[in-house]
Structure 1
């Protein structure tokens, strides 16, 4: 604006270099030109300033008045998290910003699947999450803001009748929430959908969503109850594993495969079940070693999810061995049971940067062989349940990515991340669901075809 004002001065003000800076007038009716010029300049300057102010105020007001809100509730196996999004349109296109001002989330434990025996209890934590969401959305906008609940692998493990009982309880809460809601918006999504949503947010964060399909990044997501492998394939894919989505004007043919029971928690439970069966069938001294638990850990009924006399008897026959190599072999054998399709995936998959797999093995070996008491002293602030699982998880990751999927340990394209992109966007599949379900540039819903 300085240049515009200078231009106005040059055009309006008289040239003072050729006259005295002091003006003397003898006739009262005579009005000097410089005074008129100064008044005119002041008027123009004020007018420009007001125009700028109102234009700026108009932009801010329009931005605020056009804010839109959406809520996605991720009902996972270990907990339920509410994601609250604020976005707006520019030239008819949605603008997504996952910074603190426009995105917030809250997670409560346990997961909805834990209410299988008492579905009505599922409403308690859900109501708290709804109140959290309402605190982030202006009251006048509630009825125009969608709220969706998407349950994942934890619920997929339950019988369909139990799933529906829990979902009906959640629908009752969401119907009375004040948000815009339809009964079909509370559902159990497929593992393939979960993988697609995770792929969407990862490529949005990396800036490749909406561009060349062959320049996108493939992902492996390891949850509590399932694992997903998702990537764009340029080769033929079995129809049951093929999905097509459109974003803007670009279509993506995606390989998406979900492996139920192969999430980290479920896989660990499966290993425990195998060890227990070995203990039951043992014909020697009845002692069965657990290579995935640090040495010195004492098994008791308080360390297990099932609290029963039989469970206590079985854990008494287990002995922590803390051996990474043996744990890796045990997890690999478990992964191969009925899952030959992991091999198929390895033929197609392409990964991104950073190599860290080669460092996982020595780190896992050091951790697994350490005495439990020393580990607790070394990591005093770490939750013991999490600490106990690190030996298993390090071996399981190597068994899945290297032994089963065939990724080289020194492959520099592999990246392990919970956030991605210049803005550190969380790689949470719920963000991908929000992006994909938000209207596209033409005002129509983006498509996801099975």
Structure 2
């Protein structure tokens, strides 16, 4: 891509070099396109110039403004449509509405794209974002009420998107780990009610657009979102960043790997999801490693800790803790030790549950015997998202709550864990009065888990700098660094 740009001595339109008399996209003349940017008129009279030259100039100017966009058909996963070569109809804007139905809450993301699939503002921002709590999985026994919890956010989308574009605006809901873990037909019944609500909205809708997305898909979208917002797509492997996304029910890791690691990647067994896929973005083919660890999201892992503590005391909850922990409709009781929480004992329990000593059949593994992708240049810069950012704010690792991202080392989670695990609940309340009750109850456990997950689980050096990210600055606006943007690009690119 960079070579094409350097060789362009006329007009550079994204990845498209428009020269006098033709349009060259990626080194090839565009079919059916002949642009006269400077119509020759030395032998014509002034009247001829006026009546013929002006319309030609206007036509040429209009055509120059139309981006060259070629949408590729999916191969292994999907192609992000940023390769140029074909003129698209002069559609000014395309909207997309994505619901993220997570285990801890539901969120809506409203995006608008220009014909080149670049984000443009909806009102004053590049993204309209709203959220509500609790998540859909909390309405497992009352699915209609669960669907209705989305209505205020849906009404906001109907309000901000022009009415004449409702029927051409794709609307999708992707449910993640929270619904994956529901028993029986509970998830099916919830999604049925959601389809009824969204299907009557007036937006472009297909029933299959309300579904439970698998963790690999979620991780892929997250990687695309992060690198899209950073401007890394189309660049070399070592200029991209890897992601670790800690949700409520699962955690995803994704990063680009070398051709050698891709060729030597373990083959997926029966009923297994392949851990590698090829994705073409901005004329660059990436070998993407993705793995999703179900049950290892922050909220799900709390439940695992309490399960392992049944019949005994739990070293990860503070003195004065009372009550139980509810997750995925199951209540877990926690017995507190007289001395309260203890960092080293909690750490030992977390390491045991993480199953880091599981036999590894590959050269390198994370935990549970899972191949780690081989590491390499795509793993050197890490953007760590979701609960990692939130807990860093709660624990004071990030002191300025208004920042969208922060560079820290995993060792800072360990220091914070040691501090909170040494305190009783009463002391936490006294020293951190703004910390909500549901957060202070589990903050010792949460911080221990996050540190062990990064360092022992994923093999990150305790002193390596990683970027905790909630939003990424893109074209002057902060945009949520989450999977729905990747999904939105996929949707709008498929509907011309």
Q: Place the TM-score, normalised by the shorter chain, in its bin.
A: 0.7 to 0.9
Equivalent position SS for 1:202: helix
What whole-Å deviation, never above 9, does each CA across 1:265-284 have from its counterpart, x for those lacking one? 100111011112x33xxxxx
Alignment of 1:262-411 (within 5 A): 262-276=296-310, 278-279=311-312, 288=313, 290-294=314-318, 296-300=319-323, 303-305=324-326, 314-315=333-334, 319=338, 321-336=340-355, 341-342=365-366, 344-345=371-372, 347-348=374-375, 350-352=379-381, 354-411=407-464
| Contact 1:346–1:406 (Cα < 8 Å) also in 2 | no
Equivalent position SS for 1:85: strand
Alignment of 1:122-161 (within 5 A): 122-159=146-183, 161=185
Name the structure 2 match of 1:238. 266
Structure 1 Cα separation of the partners of residues 286 and 295 of structure 2: 28
Structure 1 Cα separation of the partners of residues 433 and 120 of structure 2: 37
Structure 2 Cα separation of the partners of residues 363 and 122 of structure 1: 36
Alignment of 1:101-120 (within 5 A): 101-120=125-144
| Contact 1:145–1:179 (Cα < 8 Å) also in 2 | yes
The structure with the greater share of residues assigned to helix is: 1
| Contact 1:217–1:352 (Cα < 8 Å) also in 2 | yes
Equivalent position SS for 2:292: strand
Name the structure 2 match of 1:77. 103
Structure 2 Cα separation of the partners of residues 188 and 311 of structure 1: 24
Closer, same or farther in 2 for the Cα pair 1:165/1:399, shift >3 Å? same
Equivalent position SS for 2:302: helix
Matched, 1:67 2:93: yes
Matched, 1:420 2:472: yes
Matched, 1:433 2:487: yes
Closer, same or farther in 2 for the Cα pair 1:407/1:102, shift >3 Å? closer
Task: Report deviation, 1:157.
Answer: 0.8
Structure 2 Cα separation of the partners of residues 68 and 84 of structure 1: 11
| Contact 1:80–1:107 (Cα < 8 Å) also in 2 | yes
What whole-Å deviation, never above 9, does each CA across 1:143-169 have from its counterpart, x for those lacking one? 111100111000111246332221111
Closer, same or farther in 2 for the Cα pair 1:316/1:371, shift >3 Å? closer
Q: Alpha carbon RMSD of aligned pairs, Å? A: 3.1
| Contact 2:321–2:441 (Cα < 8 Å) also in 1 | no
Give the number of equivalent residue pairs: 366
Task: Report deviation, 1:176.
Answer: 0.5
The structure with the greater share of residues assigned to strand is: 2
TM-score computed with the length of structure 1 as normaliser: 0.74
| Contact 1:268–1:392 (Cα < 8 Å) also in 2 | yes
Name the structure 2 match of 1:25. none
Structure 2 Cα separation of the partners of residues 248 and 298 of structure 1: 53
Task: Report deviation, 1:346.
Answer: 7.2
Task: Report deviation, 1:363.
Answer: 2.0
| Contact 2:112–2:126 (Cα < 8 Å) also in 1 | yes
Structure 2 Cα separation of the partners of residues 243 and 98 of structure 1: 32
TM-score computed with the length of structure 2 as normaliser: 0.67
| Contact 2:114–2:120 (Cα < 8 Å) also in 1 | no
| Contact 1:355–1:409 (Cα < 8 Å) also in 2 | no
Task: Report deviation, 1:358.
Answer: 2.1
Equivalent position SS for 2:160: coil
Alignment of 1:141-290 (within 5 A): 141-159=165-183, 161-234=185-258, 235=261, 236-239=264-267, 240-276=274-310, 278-279=311-312, 288=313, 290=314
Structure 1 Cα separation of the partners of residues 120 and 266 of structure 2: 36
Task: Report deviation, 1:229.
Answer: 0.9
Q: Which runs of 5+ in 2 are unaligned?
A: 1-60, 66-89, 268-273, 383-406
- Most deviating of 317-326 and 145-154: 317-326
Equivalent position SS for 1:187: strand
Closer, same or farther in 2 for the Cα pair 1:421/1:127, shift >3 Å? closer
